[in-house]
Structure 1
Amino acid sequence: MRRGTRYGVLLGPLLAGGAPPDLVRRAARGLGLPERGAYAVVVLAGSVPEAAVAEGPDADGTLWRWCGSGDGDGAGDVAVVLLGAAGPPGAVARLGKHGAGPGGMSPVVGSLAELGAARRLAGTALLTCAPGTREVVRLDERLPTALLVSRPELSARLLAEVFGPLLALVPAERAVLVGTLEAWLECGGSMGRAAVRLRCHRNTVFNRLRRLERLTARSLSRPRELVDLVLALDVLRLSSAPP
């Protein structure tokens, strides 16, 4: 039996939020953790690999306490992490090393009493992971996307409003335009670098992007309209359907 199984009894009330101070103190003693410290919560979709279950301390002093989710929100195992010198990036790197994921990490909170809010935010971070990926992401690095997944009805409306004509294309044609937009964005808006990545001529990238602008009635050169396109692209990326 995993040690994390017994931690569920102690962590459950903390992760649910609203635990009274005396319960927080008792849980801290049982967990072997201080009441106050730099904490984060990690939620994973599915079970964590056995190699990642070690409680620590890691080389930088990070401590881990694992338990099951039981929340029915798509999460599997949940960890409360007392962060060490490497901070959140170090914890995420550790999970990636052991092949955990997809997963989401909350922002840092200052005490065990704040784990309820951290658990909810970690769950939101998990929702920003694209289907089929093994990434573990930090909410602080996915805030715009987190806003989208928090309001699915608005996300669906945004996708239909911005990409409606694009979605009407045959899948192969749509995938070419979406892939070109993704490459252009990843290359910092450089036509030349996007062309190298896509192994096509620079003019081909230009023509594809101009067609995308016509279809969406939005210009890549207008910042507010570019925001619409980027957010709609995030919604499309998070959908279960391929582009």
Structure 2
Amino acid sequence: MRRGTRYGALLGPLLAGGATPALVTRAARGLGLPERGRYAVVVLGTPVPDAAVVEGPDADGSRWWWGAAEGSPGEVEGSPGAAEAREGGREVAVVLLGPAGPARAAARLRELGAGPGGVSPVVGSLAQLGAARRLAGTALLTCEPGSREIVRLDERLPAALLVSRPELSTRLLAEVFGPLLTLVPAERSLLVETLEAWLECGGSVGRAAARLGCHRNTVFNRLRRLERLTARSLSRPRELVDLVLALDVLRLSSAPP
């Protein structure tokens, strides 16, 4: 995993998007990268660990280039605001993937204690790095506040849709969970925790009760109360989708449930 001003200067136009073919060719030569290959972009919400910046490929053959900092979309190293973005800890890497693909890249970052971070889907050329950077940034936004998650966009597509349209996400939360949000925090947290456990247990009341350490009737009663408050049934697929998406919005908000 490499880092340096030269790398940032070469990667910056690619990560900004819309680089001309001549710029792509020049960057490929300067970085020693193929113009076409299996690439992913990583965006971290905290400074990259020192252990991540080493020469040579990883064990699976992937090669990393750190050198761009991101504040708002379009801010890359060498552009106005990039130094401040670096201070804020949001950093970007380009990865020429090995055989294991982006899953291994995400695992490597977890091993190094990095995070939170988002990993883009695979793109097929240096010219597509701008789009990949935007998608990696969206993946980062799906990380729970305060977490150290490293997530791939393809694992978080519903949540990515929500964070991409914050005004609709806010409306969804108010429409679905409005009455729930008026409860005192402890009461609200209890119902949210029960819904999460029920979903994680595949809709099994018995397994959710075992996880929560309570009687199955307690779980059943909490879920029925949640249905009454939200005017949505857990047994109707479309209404269940509303509840799951609203739960994602609540999870991604800075406020606790």
Q: Which of the five TM-score ranges fits, normalised by the shorter chain?
A: over 0.9
User: Do 2:70 and 2:92's aligned partners in 1 also have CA atoms closer than 8 Å?
Assistant: no
Q: Secondary structure at the match of 2:4?
A: helix
**Contact conserved, 2:11 with 2:68, CA < 8 A, in 1?**
no
Alpha-carbon distance in 2 for matches of 1:56, 1:105: 21
Gaps of 5+ in 1: none
One of 104, 117, 128 as aligned partner of 2:131? 117
Q: Which residue of 1 aligns with 2:30?
A: 30
Gaps of 5+ in 2: 74-87
1:43 aligns with 2:46: no
- 2:152 aligned residue (123, 135, 138): 138
Which residue number corresponds to residue 225 of structure 1? 239
Deviations 1:9-65 (A, max 9, x none): 000000001111111111011111111100000000021111112253111110000
Letter in 2 for 1:144: P
Cα pair 1:55 1:65 within 8 Å, conserved: no
Contact 1:180-1:208 at 8 Å conserved across structures: yes
Residue 189 of structure 1 is matched in structure 2 by 203
1:13 match: 13
1:242 matched to 2:256: yes
What is the aligned partner in structure 1 of residue 108 from structure 2? 94
CA apart distance, 1:75: 6.5
Q: Hey, what does 2:230 align to over in structure 1?
A: 216
Distance 1:118 1:211 in 2: 43
Q: Which residue of 1 aligns with 2:4?
A: 4
Name the CA shift for 1:156/1:7 in 2 (closer, same or farther; >3 Å): same
Q: Which residue of 2 aligns with 1:77?
A: 91
Counterpart AA for 1:50: D
State the match for 1:65 in structure 2.
65
Amino acid at match of 1:165: P
Would you say the 8 A contact 1:41–1:79 is kept in 2? Answer: yes
* SS of equivalent residue, structure 1 residue 134: coil
Q: Which amino acid aligns with 1:191?
A: V
Shift, 1:161, TM fit: 0.2
What count of residue pairs does the alignment treat as equivalent?
Answer: 242
What amino acid is the match of 1:77? E
Secondary structure at the residue paired with 1:175? helix
Q: TM-score, normalised by structure 2?
A: 0.91
Runs of 4+ aligned structure 1 residues displaced above 4 Å come to none
TM-aligned CA distance change 1:164 to 1:239, over 3 Å: same
| Deviation of the 1:211 alpha carbon | 0.4
1:41-97 Cα deviation digits (max 9, x unpaired): 000002111111225311111000002324336771101000001111100000000
Letter in structure 1 aligned against 2:181: L
Normalising by structure 1, we get a TM-score of: 0.97
Distance 1:5 1:194 in 2: 52
Note if 1:180 corresponds to 2:173.
no
Is 1:75–1:123's contact at 8 Å kept on the other side of the alignment?
A: no
Given the alignment, which residue of 112, 121, 126 partners 2:140? 126
Amino acid at match of 2:27: A
Task: Tell whether the 8 Å contact from 1:15 to 1:116 is kept in structure 2 after alignment.
Answer: yes
1:100 is matched by which residue type in structure 2? A
What is the letter of the counterpart of residue 98 of structure 1?
L
**Quick one: distance in 2 between partners of 1:224 and 1:55?**
50
Q: Structure 1 residues 196, 155: CA separation in 2 closer, same or farther (over 3 Å shift)?
A: same
Secondary structure at the counterpart of residue 66 of structure 1: strand
Note if 1:52 corresponds to 2:55.
Answer: no
CA contact (8 A) 1:92 1:137 kept: yes
Residue 29 of structure 1 aligns to a residue whose secondary structure is: helix
